[in-house]
A and B are shown apart, each in its own frame.
Chain A
Amino acid sequence: MSGFLEIKDSCTGCGICVKTCPVQALSINDNKRAVVSDACTLCSICVDSCPFQSLAVHHSFGGNEEQLAKYSGILVLCEMRNGSPDRSTYELLGEARKLSAGEKEVSALLIAADPSDAPEKLIHAGADRVIVAEHSSFEHFSTEPWSSVLTHVITEYMPEIVLAAATTTGRDVMPRVSKILDTGLTADCTDLKIDADSGMLMQTRPAFGGNIMATIVCDRTRPQMSTVRPGVMKPMEIDTSRTGEVINLQVTDEMTKNRSKVLEFVPSAGDEVDITEAEIVISGGRGMKNPENFSILHDLAHLLGGTVGASRAAVDNGWIEYPRQVGQTGKTVQPKTYLAVGISGAVQHRVGMQSSDTIYAVNKDRDANIFQFCTEGFVGDLFEIIPALVKEIEKRRG
């Protein structure tokens, strides 16, 4: 590993770091000082644990500078939904523009059976160049052709950064391509930055159920690949005056070769919920007790023009369907108003909703975690408060 863990003279040999080390790399020697073995991965967990600030991690980014320098620009893998670029694609382009800081070229790769006016839209949303792979067999996403096209484009255009949404598409094809190209991939990033000194992409993502944020680099290989959590990055303002280059890729037999076949695509029912689009989300948790009780939340959501979300506990208990789940293993939402009802506010829920503009919480337990980070909290029985609230709102509206 490039880098080392520094143990400063202020170390007292208290042993706290020994307990926190996930790889048992630390021990206390006879002189009552921490010592580190080769097993150290420079994960930095011990640094935070030290009560005396005696530990520090020093990284030295290495690699074949010359080889790495051949890569430039940012490539975004686009996704289509109902014939237009998906919202997550606009978010990626917005983020790519931000990372480019006017210096790096932003390319968009569009794989589609019918690109229609999408290339133009992608340019208006921030792409300098759109590479279009058009083929009649590209109607539905399929692993192998997507992986072949993306691998080909990366090899040919040599981008230093490749971004895809952390959707079922991005999370299917990106790991495959990163393994084929023998480069690193960071999943489900919620923050990306270019390090001013090294020029490397600093990829930040939640881990351990959202309990920690890890920042990850890909220091020896290129491209640096990331999937980005939908709903976190901001698209740029659509600028119809923007211009760019559209390149039609020669789709070869190699690229359309596929051992798999999509036999059928069944779209979700018309009343499909997309909690990420709602301005008001009213979520129920363990405190809802059963599926029937969710009707009071639906009543309230209906009145306010919002939608109903849920915590993992409610979904795991089968009280409400998975697409409504907010949190680490569900969706990330950032509505104007988030109302948490009967939700304790465990960290895995919090990571999915903490960027909401305002958070209100109703919970009967005064000590619930949710009260530590909500905008305003209400201690009481949800089964009294919510029905009364519905009546009150109806009354005020006459």
Chain B
Amino acid sequence: MKFVVAVKQVPDTAEVRIDPERGTLIRDGVPSIMNPFDTYALEEAMKWRDELGGVVTVITMGPPQAESVLKEAISMGADDAILISDRAFAGADTWATSHTLAAAVAELGDVDAVFFGKQAIDGDTAQTGPSVAASLDWPQITFVGKVRELNKDSIIAERYVETGMQVVQTELPVVLTILKDANVPRVPSLRGKMKSRKVQIPVWKLSDLGLTEAETGLNGSPTKVVVTATPEARTGGQIHEGSTEELVSRLADLLLGEGGEA
């Protein structure tokens, strides 16, 4: 089987802080990590590769330093990786990103499935997977909590929705977006880390994908960010410090409506 996992390098949003005086993002010292949701996509692809045989190729679109997430994927057990990087790809929205990723999947050829994480923690759009499926005209199964069966021709997966769970069957090739319920991602291995140190990761540029500047990056993006702002801060009210009895009494007043019974 030939599986592709699309990953993204993101700032660790849990580490992002706001400068309280200027109200701007503090990016200094915020580590870049593999999008946490993508680790479940990678594990799912590797799990099925281990079962069925084949290769897992990890791709990412990003600046040259995004190579580090590809190396991390290799240290976890991916077979190879491709960095899709070109100045022309900068500033892409989800349309242009998926357009570019779909071109890379087509270029790889004979791919059986592309695995995405549910969403990326920086943009939180969850749009790239379905848009890649549309570009390739493949079926898609999103929000996959469990892949029940997978073989050369078809897949059965559990799709977790608001009201329950859909069991969906479809044909391959397919695009999947994976939830963290699906698996527990493996820890990198020592041999994987040794391999990732030495591996030369190929870089695919605009011309390698047969695309034009008009359909990639900022030029190819139908949407544009026009304003960014920090969310309105709600200012804190009174803070009580005191004995447990005092705190409990006040809290009970509030929860039951002032002065006792609501």
Interface check B33, CB cutoff 8 A: no
Residue of A329, A380, A393 near B255 (CB, 8 A) is A393
Give the docked Cα–Cα distance between A163 and B204 (Å). 36
Chain A positions 184-221 with a Cβ under 8 Å from a chain B Cβ: 184-188, 202, 206-221
Which residues of B have CB within 8 Å of A1? 91, 218-219, 224
Alpha-carbon separation in the docked complex, A296 to B224 (Å) = 47
Shortest CB-to-CB span from A308 to chain B, Å, is 14
Kindly identify, within residues 128 to 169 of chain A, every residue whose CB is under 8 Å from any CB belonging to chain B: 140-144, 147, 167-169
Query: Once the chains bind, are A42 and B23 in contact (CB under 8 Å)?
Result: no
Interface string of B109-143 (1 = CB under 8 A from A): 00000000001011111111111011100011111
Which size bracket describes the interface of B in this complex? 35 or more
Could you tell me if B143 and A185 are in contact, using CB atoms closer than 8 angstroms? no
Q: A172-B142, A178-B131, A263-B167 are in contact. Are A389 and B251 (CB under 8 A)?
A: yes
Least CB distance, A172 to chain B, in whole angstroms = 5
Of A39, A174, A263, A397, the contact of B261 (CB 8 Å cutoff): A397
- On whether the beta carbons of A360 and B225 are closer than 8 Å, the reply is no
How many Å lie between the Cα of A217 and that of B238 in the bound state? 40
Interface residue? A19 (CB, 8 A):
yes
Contact B166–A140 (Cβ < 8 Å): yes
Chain A residues lying within 8 Å of B90, measured Cβ to Cβ, are: 23, 39, 41
On whether the beta carbons of A175 and B134 are closer than 8 Å, the reply is yes
Whether, in the assembled complex, B22 has its beta carbon less than 8 Å from a beta carbon of chain A, the answer is yes
Question: Cβ of A384 < 8 Å from any Cβ of B?
Answer: yes
Nearest Cβ on chain B to A348's Cβ, whole angstroms: 7
In the complex with contacts A171-B142, A184-B95, A214-B225, A377-B125 CB distance below 8 A: no
| Chain A residue with Cβ nearest B137 | A180
The A-contacting residues of B in range 166-196, CB under 8 angstroms, are 166-171, 181
Interchain CB contact under 8 A, A373 and B223: no
A336 → chain B closest CB, angstroms:
11
Q: Which residues of A contact B233 (CB under 8 A)?
A: 372-373
- How distant is the Cα of A184 from the Cα of B92 in the complex, in angstroms? 12
Decide yes or no whether B247 CB sits under 8 A from chain A. Answer: yes
Given the contacts A45-B25, A175-B130, A373 and B248 also touching, CB distance less than 8 Å: no
A218 contacts which of B25, B223, B241, B249 (Cβ < 8 Å)? B223
What B residues does A42 contact at CB under 8 A?
Answer: 224-226
B-side interface mostly: mixed
Given A39-B90, A206-B231, A266-B165, do A211 and B18 touch, yes or no (CB 8 Å)? Answer: yes
Set B95, B127, B244: member contacting A182, Cβ < 8 A:
B95
Contact assessment for B225 and A396 in the assembled complex, using a CB-CB cutoff below 8 Å: no
Chain A nearest CB from B122 CB (Å) reads 6
Chain B nearest CB, measured from A213 CB (Å): 5
Asked if B134 and A179 sit within 8 Å, CB to CB, the answer is yes
Assuming the contacts A263-B167, A347-B18, asked whether A211 and B230 have C-beta atoms less than 8 A apart, the reply is yes
Interface assignment of B93: CB less than 8 Å from any CB of chain A: yes
Interface centre among B156, B218, B228, B249 (most CB of A within 10 A): B228
A69 at the interface (CB under 8 A from B): no
Known: A182-B95, A207-B122. A264 touches B167 (CB 8 A): yes
Contacts of B28 in A (CB 8 A): 19
* Interchain CB contact (< 8 A) of A377 among B18, B134, B227, B236: B236
Query: Are B166 and A378 within 8 A (Cβ)?
Result: no
Out of B228, B238, B244, name the residue touching A213 (CB < 8 Å).
Answer: B228
Contact of A261 among B14, B170, B260 (CB under 8 A): B170
User: Is the pair A167, B162 in contact by a Cβ cutoff of 8 Å?
Assistant: yes
Q: How far is the CA of A348 from the CA of B17 in the complex (A)?
A: 11
- Whether A51 sits at the interface, judged by CB under 8 Å, is yes
Q: Is the Cβ of A212 less than 8 Å from the Cβ of B237?
A: no
8 Å CB contact of B222 from A141, A183, A265, A339: A183
Q: Do residues A43 and B127 form an inter-chain contact, with CB atoms below 8 A? A: no
Q: How far is the CB of B226 from chain A (nearest CB, A)?
A: 5
A175 and B235 contacting across the interface, CB-CB below 8 Å: no
Q: Which residue of B has the minimal Cβ distance to A384?
A: B244
Q: Which of A356-385 contact B (CB under 8 A)?
A: 358-360, 362, 366, 371-381, 384-385
Given contacts A179-B135, A186-B223, A385-B244, contact A172 B167 (CB under 8 A): no
Q: Which of B121, B123, B251, B260 has the most CB of A within 10 A?
A: B251
Q: Is the CB of A143 within 8 A of B139?
A: yes
Tell me if B228 and A378 are in contact (CB < 8 A): no
A29 contact set on B, CB distance < 8 A: none
* A20 engages B124 (CB within 8 Å): no
In the assembled complex, the CB of A179 is this many whole angstroms from the nearest CB of chain B, namely 4
Q: Which residues of A contact B134 (CB under 8 A)?
A: 147, 175-177, 179-180
Whether B226 and A202, one on each chain, are in contact in the complex, defined by CB atoms closer than 8 angstroms, is: yes
* A41 contacts B91, C-beta separation under 8 Å: yes
Instruction: Knowing A176-B131, A212-B230, say if A263 contacts B24 (CB, 8 Å).
Output: no
Given contacts A206-B124, A379-B239, A397-B261, 14 further A-B contacts (CB under 8 A): A23-B91, A45-B25, A45-B228, A168-B160, A184-B93, A188-B126, A218-B222, A260-B171, A266-B167, A280-B255, A372-B236, A376-B250, A378-B250, A396-B260
The 4 A-B pairs of least Cβ separation, nearest first, read A209-B13, A184-B222, A184-B223, A179-B134
15 contacts between A and B (CB under 8 A): A1-B219, A20-B25, A43-B225, A147-B134, A175-B129, A180-B134, A187-B123, A213-B230, A217-B223, A260-B168, A262-B166, A267-B164, A380-B241, A385-B244, A396-B261
